Amino acid sequence: MDEKKVMLSGIQPSGDLHLGNYLGAIKHWGARADEFDCYYFMADMHTITVRQNPADLRRRTLEQLAQYIACGLDPEKNTLFIQSHVHQHAELGWVLNCYTMFGELSRMTQFKDKSAKHADNINGGLFTYPSLMAADILLYQPDFVPVGNDQKQHVEITRDIAQRFNNIYGDVFKIPEPYIPKTGARIMGLSNPESKMSKSSPEGCVFLMEKPEDIQRKFKRAITDSDTEHCVRYDPENKPGVANLMSIYAAVTGKTFEEIEREFDGCGYGTFKPAVGDAVVETLRPIREEATRILADKAYLESVYKQGAEKASYVANKTLRKVYKKIGFVAR
């Protein structure tokens, strides 16, 4: 019997992957492939809670797969798939909707943020998104869900839903733990260090496939502070912009904040900002080159997502069958 622990996570292909997605999530996925049974997917069903251009969605989903592989997720060791190819997600999502409370959905930060941003399209899917995410997770009975800080609340509601279901029907679902990285869990926007880096503010967001000169320009323009001594010191309260750049530098170089303070002692922001830009450019360069190469090979990508969906469906179906039996659906 396979005793390996299970890890699972996903990203919405609603925009191009950015440094926050990389440092908060993907970077921590590939490293554990030998130790864990790993499932990573493109959460395309989640993206339609906000209107998408169909051609862009299709293109981005494949680009995201190429970037997953370029970031080190070996398809031989990780199950990589497209969420909508595994119909069990939608099926369990519906069931879990009936075990998720209106009140708890109303408290979700992502729902509040997105309904404020898309006031003309506050649809039912946006509201019940966490039940589908709970289904994404619980189908695979994972031990850990590696995500950035902003998704912790969704993993917590998943635990509550699973617990509620188990209390009624016995031990159907494993209760997963969120796995939040120590560095990079919350990368802030370069043009506004008060809000998280996100594709919705592209001027402060560094994309994985972006050209080095554009990345450098964004870092040179990064907001720091009006501190006249221009001192590189980790003080998130008073110097959030500098703290964010230090977190990025720490995440890509592996250096501690003390080491970074020493390295830039007496240098000022004019030296520090381009140095962070350089470190990021060098981290992303091999990823960009490899992703471009993989993306050109459509047959390979197709073979990866087809095999991934086959393996994922097999595992997901076992859980779904158990759930259907427990709730009283007649077996097919």
Which stretches of the chain bind ligand TYM, using CB under 6 A?
Answer: 9-12, 20-21, 24-25, 43, 46, 133, 136-137, 145, 147-148, 150-151, 154, 185-187, 196-197
Nearer of residues 63 and 136 to ligand TYM, judged by Cβ: 136
**Gap between the Cα atoms of 84 and 97, Å rounded:** 18
Consecutive H or E run containing 6: strand 5-11
Catalytic residue, chosen from 27, 196, 239, 273, is: 196
27 is catalytic: no
Catalytic residue, chosen from 77, 152, 174, 199, is: 199
CB-based contact 215:54 (threshold 8 Å): no
We find the least distance from the C-beta atom of residue 228 to ligand TYM, in angstroms, to be 29
Please tell me the total number of residues recorded for the chain in this structure. 332
174 is catalytic: no
- The DSSP letter of residue 187 is P
Nearer of residues 181 and 274 to ligand TYM, judged by Cβ: 181
Shortest Cβ contact with ligand TYM: which residue?
Answer: 24
Tokens of 225: 């502070």
Tokens of 34: 């030998």
We find the least distance from the C-beta atom of residue 108 to ligand TYM, in angstroms, to be 10
DSSP codes joined into one string, 129-180 = HHHHHHHHHHTT--SEEE--GGGHHHHHHHHHHHHHHHHHHSS-S---EEE-
Nearer of residues 133 and 161 to ligand TYM, judged by Cβ: 133
Tokens of 150: 């902003």
We find the least distance from the C-beta atom of residue 39 to ligand TYM, in angstroms, to be 9
199 is catalytic: yes
Nearer of residues 181 and 212 to ligand TYM, judged by Cβ: 181
Q: Is the dihedral of CA 107, 93, 144, 244 positive or negative?
A: negative
We find the least distance from the C-beta atom of residue 25 to ligand TYM, in angstroms, to be 4
Catalytic residue list: 114, 196, 199
